[in-house]
Amino acid sequence: MSMDKEAVCKVARLSQIRVSEEEIERISPQLTGILKWIEQLGEVNTDNVEPLANVVDSDLHLRKDEITDGNCSDKILANAPEEVQNFFVVPKVIE
């Protein structure tokens, strides 16, 4: 598999990262190189092997469904780049 410029553009769009023409030129061979390298996994026979997502084998424990915090909007907003009246502010999204 190779990561051509078109594929880089697509993946940059999915990643929500703006890339310049010059960056695409640079990134495309790098990602292609990494992809070729990781494709050696194809040599490994993984028939009937279950994927391992996490080494923790215990079940997630459930806590009681009760409110444990809240009333802390000031804390939540403390690092916001922009806020007004207890809301995060973003560029206008409705025409």
Partner 1 sequence: MTKLTQLTITDALKGLENKNFTAQELTQAHIDAMQSAKKLNAFITETPEIALKQAKASDDRRAKGNAGLLDGIPLAIKDLFCTKNVQTTAASKILEGFKPEYESTVTKNLFSNGAIMLGKTNLDEFAMGSSNTTSYFGNVISPWKRDGDDTDLVPGGSSGGSAAAVSAHIAMGATGTDTGGSIRQPASFTGIVGMKPTYGRCSRWGVIAFASSLDTPGAFARTVEDTALLLESMAGYDPMDSTSANKEVPQYSKSLNGDIKGMKIGIPDEYRIDGMPDEIIKLWEQGIEWIKDAGAKAVRISLPHTKYALPAYYIIAPAEASSNLARYDGVRYGYRANENDLQDMYAKTRAEGFGEEVKRRIMMGTYVLSAGYYDAYYRKAQRVRRLILEDFEKAYEKCDAILTPTTPSAAFAIGENEDDPIKMYLNDVFTVTGNLAGLPGISIPSGIDKDGLPLGLQITGRAWDEETVLKIAGTIEKAAQFKCMPK
User: CB neighbours of 61 closer than 8 A, spacing ≥ 6?
Assistant: none
Longest CA–CA separation in the chain, Å: 58
Return the closest-CA partner of residue 39 out of 4, 2, 76. 2
Q: Identify residue 87 by its one-letter amino acid code.
A: F
Answer yes or no whether residue 50 interacts with partner 1 by CB under 8 A.
Answer: yes
Answer yes or no whether residue 34 interacts with partner 1 by CB under 8 A.
Answer: yes
Return the closest-CA partner of residue 17 out of 34, 32, 31. 31
Minimum separation from the CB atom of position 28 to partner 1 (A): 11
Answer yes or no whether residue 12 interacts with partner 1 by CB under 8 A.
Answer: yes
Minimum separation from the CB atom of position 42 to partner 1 (A): 8
Of the candidates 4, 30, 71, 95, which one interacts with partner 1 according to CB under 8 A?
Answer: 30
Return the closest-CA partner of residue 30 out of 7, 52, 51, 61. 7
In the complex, which residues of this chain contact partner 1 (CB under 8 A)? 3, 7-8, 11-12, 14-19, 27, 30-31, 33-35, 37-44, 46, 49-56, 58, 60-61, 63, 72, 75-76, 78-82, 88, 90-93
